[in-house]
Amino acid sequence: MNKKKVEDYMTRSVITFRPEASIFEAAETFIKNKISGAPVTDKDNKLVGILSEWDCLSVILKGEFEEYPSGNVSEYMSKDVITVSADTGVFEVTQLFIDKRYHRIPVVENNKLVGIISRRDLLSAITD
């Protein structure tokens, strides 16, 4: 039986942020590219976090207490990130999406980001 794998459905060309990027630039990137999150990598493409729209919304709340909230992606990103490898089975990653209610999961090989798999990407497995 030919087992469907993450590598068959993942997005390989991924928009990423550096930890030192401005949180406002990240929010603009989300809006411009119509995405809701992106991995954060260091200069060697090692995954160090993930930033989502939810994380960016905390900038608004911070503004409630400060005149002009600002900061870098590293201050708002989630650092505890679940990852999968390209050879992870579609059923296994689908279970992660259901159990954890994630929208996207970075795909990592040898500690380097190689792609991202989203819930929408997995929907295409239904039609294959």
* CA distances to 61, 74, 90 from 51, in Å: 16, 9, 24
Residues in Cβ contact with 29 at an 8 Å cutoff, skipping those fewer than 6 apart: 15, 17, 35, 38
Strand partners, 116: 11, 106
Residue 109 has pLDDT above 90, yes or no: yes
CA distance 33 to 127: 26
pLDDT score of 43? 96
Quickly state the pLDDT bin for 1 (edges 50, 70, 90): very low
Quickly state the pLDDT bin for 115 (edges 50, 70, 90): very high
Delimit the domains of the chain by residue range.
Answer: 6-127
> pLDDT exceeding 70 applies to what percent of the chain?
93
DSSP category for residue 43: T
pLDDT score of 124? 86
pLDDT score of 126? 79
CA distance 11 to 37: 13
Quickly state the pLDDT bin for 80 (edges 50, 70, 90): very high
Work out whether strand 104-109 and strand 47-52 pair parallel, antiparallel, or are unpaired.
Answer: unpaired
Residue 64 has pLDDT above 90, yes or no: no
CATH label, 6-127, candidates 3.40.50.300, 3.10.580.10, 3.30.70.1520, 3.40.640.10: 3.10.580.10
CA distance 100 to 124: 20
